[in-house]
Amino acid sequence: MVHEAVADTRVVTINGARQVGKSTLAKAVLRSYPGSTARSLDVATQRQAALSDPTRFVRHDGLLAVSGLII
């Protein structure tokens, strides 16, 4: 179902409770698309990059997965 959503939708959200496999699912999907990348807001340098320049943070020609939460 995620592959179908990625094929025709610009933004796809995978949400759910903690520890249910969201990141595992996202990683599996990314492996199916050459040139894809993942960025995590749990990594301090990536979180700071997202806060400093959000447009640049999400700029990527391929499939991009962003995970983590800013509280």
Tens digits of per-residue pLDDT, 8-19? Answer: 888 888 888 889
Q: What is the pLDDT, as a whole number, of residue 34?
A: 93
> Sign of torsion, CA 55 59 9 43?
negative
pTM here?
0.79
d(CA 51, CA 69): 12
Segments in the chain below pLDDT 70: 70-71
- 54's tokens: 């959000």
Looking at this protein, which amino acid is placed at residue 53? D
Cα separation of 45 and 9, whole Å? Answer: 28
pLDDT of residue 20: 93
Distance CA 4, CA 1 (A): 5
